[in-house]
Amino acid sequence: MTRYEKLQAFGCVCCRTLGHKNTQVDIHHLVEGKKRLGDEFTIPLCAYHHRGLISLSNPPKGWLSQWGPSRHYHGRRAFEKHWGTERELLDYVNKHF
């Protein structure tokens, strides 16, 4: 099984911490110093937690408080303040494969 297949089977790391298993994931590459790190530096994020996309045209009130911030829509600072650093999420994923 490839790393990407393992990441998909693992599901969104953010959803998982909320008690949900969402295996419809994007593979997010960590970037440090304007450099995209290799494929071993990847974490699984659902479309919401990665890009801020949700399947509802009018999201319910409290969406952000219920699901937390997304990486690209709300920004790295808000995302990491809520979920931890991307390196911490990477360590968590790698330990729980």
Digit-coded pLDDT (tens) for 54-73: 765 555 567 788 889 999 98
Which of 2-16, 37-51, 63-77 is the least confident region?
63-77
Q: How far apart are CA 97 and CA 93, in angstroms?
A: 6
- In 3D, which of 96, 65, 70, 64 has the Cα closest to residue 83? 70
**Least confident piece of the model among 7-16, 41-50, 54-63, 81-90:** 54-63
Global confidence as pTM: 0.89
Q: What is the DSSP letter of 17?
A: H
CATH code of 76's domain: 3.30.40.190
The three-class DSSP label of residue 95 is: helix
Task: Answer yes or no: is pLDDT of 83 > 60.
Answer: yes
Rounded to whole angstroms, the Cα distance separating 49 from 27 reads: 11
How many whole angstroms separate alpha carbon 97 and alpha carbon 92?
9
Task: Give the number of domains in the chain.
Answer: 1
Domain that holds residue 29: 3-54+63-96
